[in-house]
Amino acid sequence: MNASDPARLRVYKFGGTSVASTEHLSAIAQLVAKDYQDGARLVVVVSAMAGETDRLQALARTLCPKPSPRELDALLSTGEQITMALLALALHALGCPARSCTGGQARIRTDHRHNRARIKNIDGTALLKALQKDHILVVAGFQGIDEEGNITTLGRGGSDITAVALAVAIGAGECRIYTDVDGVYTADPRIVPEARRLAQLSHEEMLELSALGARVLQTRAVEFASKYNVPLRVLSSFDPGPGTLISSEEIPAMEQPIISGIAHNRDEAKLTLIGVPDQPGIAHKILGPIATHGIEVDMIVQNIGQDNTTDFTFTVHRRDYEKSMDILRETATQLGARDVRGDNAIIKISVVGVGMRSHAGIASRMFAVLAEQNINIMMISTSEIKISVVIEERYLETGVRALHQAFDLEQKADPLPRSASTG
Ligand code: ADP
Ligand code: ASP
Ligand code: MG
DSSP result, 72-88:
HHHHHHHHHHHHHHHHH
Q: What is the pLDDT along the chain (423 residues), one digit of tens a residue?
A: 465 677 789 999 999 999 999 999 999 999 999 999 999 999 999 999 999 999 999 999 999 999 999 999 999 999 999 999 999 999 999 999 999 999 999 999 999 999 999 999 999 998 999 999 989 999 999 999 999 999 999 999 999 999 999 999 999 988 999 999 999 999 999 999 999 999 999 999 999 999 999 999 999 999 999 999 999 999 999 998 999 999 988 776 666 788 999 999 999 999 999 999 888 899 999 999 999 999 999 999 988 877 889 999 999 999 999 999 999 999 999 999 999 999 999 999 999 998 888 888 999 999 999 999 999 999 999 999 999 999 999 999 999 999 999 999 986 544 444 444 332
Angle (deg, nearest 10), helices 22-37 and 69-93: 60
Which of the four CATH numbers 3.40.1160.10, 3.40.50.11400, 3.40.50.970, 3.40.605.10 does domain 9-180 have? 3.40.1160.10
- pTM (predicted TM-score): 0.92
Terminal CA-to-CA distance of the chain, rounded, Å?
Answer: 55
Backbone angles phi, psi at 340, to 5 degrees: -125, 130
Q: Provide the residue ranges of all domains of the chain, joining segments of one domain with +.
A: 9-180, 262-406
Give strand pairing partners of 197.
Answer: 185
DSSP H helices in 174-218: 203-211
| Distance from the alpha carbon of residue 216 to the mean position of ligand 3, in angstroms | 6
In whole angstroms, give the CA distance from residue 137 to residue 44: 6
CA distance 72 to 66: 10
φ, ψ of residue 110 to 5 degrees: the values are -125, 175
Q: Whose CA is nearest to atom 5 of ligand 1?
A: 216
Is residue 141 lining ligand 2, measured as CB closer than 6 Å?
yes
CATH number given to 262-406: 3.30.2130.10
CA of 343 to the centre of ligand 3 (A): 28
β-bridge mates for residue 265, sequence order: 348
Do residues 13 and 180 make contact, with C-beta atoms less than 8 angstroms apart? no
User: How many angstroms separate the CA atoms of 262 and 110, rounded?
Assistant: 33
